[in-house]
Structure 1
Amino acid sequence: MLIHDVDFAEMYREHMRGSDRPHKPASAWDERARALSDKVMQSDYTRQFIARMDLSGAKTLLDVGCGPGTIGVSLASGLEAVHGLDYSPVMLECMMENAGAAGLDNVHPLLLSWTDDWKDVPVCDIVVASRSSIVPDMADALRKMTSHARLRCYMTHLVGGHFGDAGIAKLLGRQQQSFPDYIYIVNLLHGMGLYPRLDYMEFPGRLAGTANVEEFTEKVAWSFGELSDEDRRKLREWYEADAQRARQGGEPMRWAMISWDAGK
């Protein structure tokens, strides 16, 4: 078998079906939207993402899974129009509040998900998907992004397949099947006749920086789902056994930044 014989689209879908992290409905993101909005707009992640973008010739941008406007609103002052697409109504409300606070009137919300029909989504010069790429069908997502971009696309995708520390996953007996890694995307884009560029960003993990074991446990619950009393006991023991490890929250979070020219 050669690489051209491998159906990476179906392999990704099968891998995704085997991942055991519960699907988060829009209501779950609605509940976290305002807390996230306060943290991400001026984050190191945002600065690093934007620093890796080529905006030459761009006047419009589509931000897929935009959240509170982390990327789109941050760039809107230099563009004619930004369209933020998200399936969480409260995330879109936060995006518009952030745009208003910045004195921007060129940011437009789109209440849609990756799996909805995008027939009314405008084609833009740049399309970004920032930390929003855990989708059931990556081939379909990449086609949607590429078909809605005139110039370039940018996507960040999890490296290693685990949002939380792998050691915590093992401790809880959770998420033995990782999420599909970024290399699927590189291979899918190659199969589409495109030439993806690849870079990496590394940050403290999602479980880092907690003030106490209660806060740590709630962060674990967000990543891994409902916790039993036994799970909470194990986490307390893990947290209290090593103070430095507890502050770090385990392994750092790594993101692959994949970009490609749309070819229009």
Structure 2
Amino acid sequence: MTLDDIDFATLYREHLRQAGRAPKPASDWDRRAGELNRSSQASRYASDFIGRMNLDGARTLLDIGCGPGTLALPLAARLERVYGLDFSAGMLACLAQNAQEQGLGNVQGIQRAWEEDWSDVPVCDIVVASRSGLVEDLADALDKMNRHGRLRAYMTQLVGGAFSEPEIAALLGRQPRRLPDYLYTVSLLHQRDIHPRLDYLETRNRLGGTRDFEAFAQRVAWAFGPIDADQRVELQRWYQVDPERARSGGAPMRWAFISWDIPSRR
């Protein structure tokens, strides 16, 4: 058996199924839109991401899973047209408000999920999927990126398959299987005769950025589901051991920064 004999698309779907991750509906992201909008301002992650991009020859960009505009808005100042695609109406409302406040008239929101029909989504010079690629069908998502891009694509995917601090999961007695990470993306691109470039970014994990225990407990409940009284006691004990580390959410996360040239259309 060689790599070419492996059905990575099916393997990815099976790995995701076994991990038991229930995708959060758009309404959950709507509720968090305001919080994420505030935390995304002046993001080091965004500057690190954009600093690795090549915009030569590009006039338009499609940002898939754009959120409140963490990448789309800084890039809009350097391009003629930017489209922000997201399935959350709340995120797109933040995008529109932020664009207006920054005097950016070249930003357009599109409410759409990865799984929906994209026949009316514009084809752009650059396609970006930042931390938005944990989808049910990764092969289809990559094909959509290639169909809707002309020059280059940029994507960040998990390294190691865990969003949150493993200590917290153990503390709550929840040890889900690790999610599929960036190696599936690299493998699926390889099978399409695309040989991507690979780099890494580091950020605090999704439990980070809280000011006190109450906010931290709410963040944990959003990430892991409801916590009972006993779990809350254990969580507070963990928090009080090192509040500064707890406010950062524990160990940082690593993201694979994957970039490739869009195959020419013949």
Q: TM-score range by the shorter chain?
A: over 0.9
Specify the alignment match of 1:196 in structure 2: 196
Give the alignment's TM-score, normalised by structure 2: 0.95
Specify the alignment match of 2:162 in structure 1: 162
1:56-135 superposed matches below 5 A: 56-135=56-135
Specify the alignment match of 2:261 in structure 1: 261
Computed over aligned residues only, the root mean square deviation of the Cα atoms, in angstroms, reads: 1.4
Specify the alignment match of 2:4 in structure 1: 4
Matched residue SS, 2:169: helix
The 1-side partners of 2:41 and 2:248 are apart by 22
Q: Letter of the 1:214 partner, please give it.
A: E
Q: Say whether the 8 Å CA contact 2:216–2:247 is kept in structure 1.
A: no
Q: Say whether the 8 Å CA contact 1:175–1:224 is kept in structure 2.
A: no
Which range moves more in the overlay, 109-118 or 234-243? Answer: 234-243
1:167-209 per-position Cα deviation (integer Å, ceiling 9, x unaligned): 2112222242111111111101001110111100112222234
Matched residue SS, 2:217: helix
Q: Say whether the 8 Å CA contact 2:212–2:247 is kept in structure 1.
A: no
**Cα distance change of structure 1 residues 20 and 237 upon mapping to structure 2, 3 Å threshold:** farther
Matched residue SS, 2:164: coil
**Cα distance change of structure 1 residues 6 and 50 upon mapping to structure 2, 3 Å threshold:** same
| Unaligned runs of at least 5 residues, structure 1 | none
**Cα distance change of structure 1 residues 175 and 128 upon mapping to structure 2, 3 Å threshold:** farther
Q: Say whether the 8 Å CA contact 2:13–2:137 is kept in structure 1.
A: yes
Matched residue SS, 1:85: strand
1:34 aligns with 2:34: yes
C-alpha displacement of 1:232: 1.4
The 2-side partners of 1:242 and 1:45 are apart by 25
1:2-60 per-position Cα deviation (integer Å, ceiling 9, x unaligned): 21111111111011112233321111111111221122132101100100000000000
The 2-side partners of 1:204 and 1:70 are apart by 16
1:223-262 superposed matches below 5 A: 223-262=223-262
The 1-side partners of 2:197 and 2:80 are apart by 26
The 2-side partners of 1:115 and 1:175 are apart by 28
Q: Say whether the 8 Å CA contact 1:8–1:187 is kept in structure 2.
A: yes
Matched residue SS, 2:77: helix
Q: Say whether the 8 Å CA contact 1:127–1:148 is kept in structure 2.
A: yes
Q: Say whether the 8 Å CA contact 1:208–1:246 is kept in structure 2.
A: yes
Which range moves more in the overlay, 56-65 or 242-251? Answer: 242-251
The 2-side partners of 1:10 and 1:21 are apart by 17
Question: When the two structures are aligned, how many residues end up with a matched partner?
Answer: 264
**Cα distance change of structure 1 residues 170 and 34 upon mapping to structure 2, 3 Å threshold:** same
The 1-side partners of 2:241 and 2:21 are apart by 27
The 2-side partners of 1:166 and 1:138 are apart by 25
Q: Say whether the 8 Å CA contact 1:21–1:224 is kept in structure 2.
A: no
